[in-house]
Amino acid sequence: RNRKLLAAVAISILLQAAVLYIPPISAIFRTVPLDLMDWLIVIGISSTVFIIIESIKAIRWKIDEKMSAEKGA
């Protein structure tokens, strides 16, 4: 596992949260905190992309598996 990548992602999330939820920083960037409904929309839209990509991978894997089985038969 890539610890540097995980650390970079964690730092990125923390900085994003700071911009949204720490008043002096949010004033500089002119941002407002997201409420629960906003977060649900963000999670819903971003997870849709994840689900589509993973579905495509699963379909490709099944097709490759089937083609390999046919070649072996």
Which residues, including other chains, have CB under 8 Å from residue 68's CB and lie 6 or more apart? none
Amino acid 70: pLDDT: 81
Amino acid 69: pLDDT: 83
Amino acid 2: pLDDT: 92
Return d(Cα 67, Cα 45) in angstroms, integer: 34
Amino acid 73: pLDDT: 61
pLDDT tens, position by position, for the chain (73 residues)?
799 999 999 999 999 999 999 999 999 999 999 999 999 999 999 999 999 999 999 999 999 988 888 887 6
CB < 8 Å & 24+ apart, contacts of 11-16: none
Question: 């993973």: which residue's tokens?
Answer: 54
Question: 């949010």: which residue's tokens?
Answer: 26
The phi-psi region of residue 30 (left if phi > 0; otherwise alpha if psi is between -120 and 50; otherwise beta) is: left
Chain length of the chain: 73
**pTM > 0.75:** no
